[in-house]
Structure 1
């Protein structure tokens, strides 16, 4: 069954996918220099560094920065992503588009199930199987050509 969104008769994709979408997890920003970006976001804007790591598989040095109250209620996360070398995806993104907004990430209850629901609806995902993301999370991405030009990440947080 298919219909116009918002009419109350949406296809079952909403029934299948909506319970898996828990909220916006973070917004990813590609930066050429992580230390400079961290200084801006923490020292100038007053945000807090909550996690930093190198993800060799993805070719990035990354930091999660929290915006908002320290108790975490309703906090927003920014993921700053710097390339570890010229062949990383982030390096290629910066070469092509310049630094800036790189992706929108949704937190999901089950990345494999969400990926399958999306594939069943004809969307392309970048990985056949979820990969390791920040802080041990499991991730996959919806191809930007299938998401209005936006790279959409699916994040299942580590338990």
Structure 2
């Protein structure tokens, strides 16, 4: 597995994207509205920052209320999301998603519960 992206919760994805483009020469390569959020991906040579701005009440809005802006999750790319979930189960990891679901860019995703992963929300992504 390799790091696919780092999810960053923000109140203003467009403004943060401009900042990151200027600072890191990381272009915006994908934008969509998905699951009550504006989602913006910036490319860092094949790994991404995923900027998550809530458009309505939901997971990211609640995260921002509790924690403020910042890193929300780390996503790992896998070629076999079902196998990755089975491995997590075999190791006693609590899953948020028992089965893969549709994520941004139409990819299959599944989240592991942070209480089992050192307080880090981990997402599996299968392209």
**What range is the shorter-chain TM-score in?**
over 0.9
Shift in Å at residue 32 of structure 1? 0.7
Contact 2:82 2:99 in 1 (8 A): yes
Give the structure-1-normalised TM-score: 0.75
> Within 2, Cα distance between the matches of 1:122 and 1:144?
13
Structure 2: any 5+ residue segments left out of the alignment?
none
Which protein is richer in strand relative to its size? 2
Residue 84 (structure 1) aligned to one of 20, 40, 55: 55
Contact 2:9 2:60 in 1 (8 A): yes
Cα RMSD after superposing both structures: 1.3
Give the structure-2-normalised TM-score: 0.93
Q: What per-residue deviation string (whole Å, max 9, x for no partner) do you get for residues 3-58 of structure 1?
A: xxxxxxxxxxxxxxxxxx2x1101111011111112212244432011111112xx
Runs ≥4 in structure 1, deviation > 3 angstroms? Answer: none
Greater RCO (CA < 8 Å, at least 6 residues apart): 2
Q: Which of these two proteins has the greater Rg computed from alpha carbons?
A: 1
Q: What per-residue deviation string (whole Å, max 9, x for no partner) do you get for residues 69-124 of structure 1?
A: xxxxxx33111111111x21111111111100111110011111111121122111
Equivalenced residue count is: 127
Residue 42 (structure 1) aligned to one of 21, 30, 33: 21
